[in-house]
C-alpha cells in the first residue's frame, strides 16, 4: 500500500439494538469496555462503528494491522484514514452546524480568521469547518494532538489547489500534505493530513 486510503460510514444501522449487539460482540475486549463507559446510545454506536469501520477498512485496503491509522466521528458519521508504513496520518470529520465566529477569533490565527470573515455570509459556516477539520487533521497527524494548540500553526486555503501550511511549529519536523472532502449530503466536512503526498478519494463502507 503506497497511498493514504480513507473510508467513511453512517452509524444509523447500529442504532438498532440487534445490529449493535452483533457488531459489539466482534470487538476486542478493551474496545467493548470503552463503549460500555459511554452514557448515550448514539455515542456508543459511534464508538463501536468507528472500530468496525477500521476493521473493514483494513480488509478492503489489504493493509497490515501495523499500518498507521486515525479515526474520527461526528453526527452519524465515522471516518478512518490508513497511511503507508512509516508515514503519519490524521483525519477529522465534522457535521456543519453554525459558524462559530467567536471561537475562530479566539483560537485561529489572525490571517485564518480574516480569510473566514472575508467569505460571503452564506459561505462562512463552511469556511469555519474547513479550517477546523484541516487543523484537527494536522494536529492528529503530528501525534501532538491538542498539545499543539490551534494557533501554533497557520493554514493557507487557495482558491485553487490544496491547502498548505504557511506557518509550522519549529519542533514539528517534516512536510505535511492535506486533502479536503465532503460527504454526499454536503452536511459535513472531511480533512486528511499525512506526511505522504498520495491520497485516494474516500469510499463509503456499510457497517452491517
Domain of 108, CATH number, reads 3.90.470.20
pLDDT of residue 102: 84
pLDDT of amino acid 103:
86
Total number of domains constituting the chain: 1
- 30 is in which domain, residue-wise? 5-204
For every residue of 91-142, which 3-state class applies, written as one string? EEEEECCCCCHHHHHHHCCHHHHHHHHHCCHHHHHHHHHHHHHHHHHHHHHH
CA 66 to the chain's CA centroid:
20
Question: Structure pTM?
Answer: 0.95
pLDDT of residue 205: 97
Q: How many CB atoms lie within 10 A of CB 152?
A: 16
Residue 196: pLDDT band (50, 70, 90) is very high
Distance separating alpha carbons of residues 185 and 206, to the nearest angstrom? 16
Residues 124, 141: Cα–Cα separation, whole Å: 26
Q: What is the mean pLDDT of residues 177-183?
A: 97
Amino acid at each position: 500500500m503506497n497511498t493514504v486510503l480513507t473510508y467513511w460510514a453512517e452509524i444509523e444501522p447500529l442504532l438498532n439494538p440487534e445490529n449493535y449487539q452483533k457488531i459489539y460482540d466482534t470487538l476486542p475486549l478493551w474496545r467493548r469496555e470503552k463503549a460500555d463507559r459511554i452514557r448515550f446510545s448514539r455515542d456508543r454506536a459511534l464508538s463501536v462503528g468507528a472500530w468496525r469501520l477500521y476493521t473493514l477498512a483494513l480488509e478492503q485496503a489489504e493493509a497490515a494491522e501495523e499500518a498507521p491509522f486515525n479515526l474520527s466521528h461526528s453526527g452519524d458519521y465515522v471516518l478512518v484514514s490508513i497511511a503507508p508504513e512509516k508515514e503519519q496520518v490524521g483525519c477529522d470529520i465534522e457535521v456543519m452546524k453554525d459558524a462559530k465566529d467567536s471561537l475562530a477569533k479566539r483560537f485561529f490565527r489572525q490571517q485564518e480568521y480574516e480569510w473566514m470573515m472575508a467569505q460571503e455570509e452564506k459561505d462562512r459556516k463552511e469556511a469555519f469547518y474547513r479550517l477546523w477539520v484541516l487543523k484537527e487533521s494536522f494536529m492528529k497527524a503530528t501525534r501532538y494532538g491538542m498539545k499543539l494548540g490551534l494557533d501554533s500553526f497557520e493554514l493557507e486555503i487557495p482558491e485553487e489547489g490544496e491547502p498548505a501550511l504557511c506557518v509550522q511549529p519549529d519542533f514539528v519536523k517534516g512536510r505535511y500534505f492535506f486533502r479536503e472532502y465532503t460527504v454526499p449530503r454536503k452536511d459535513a466536512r472531511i480533512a486528511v493530513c499525512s506526511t505522504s503526498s498520495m491520497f485516494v478519494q474516500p469510499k463509503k463502507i456499510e457497517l452491517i
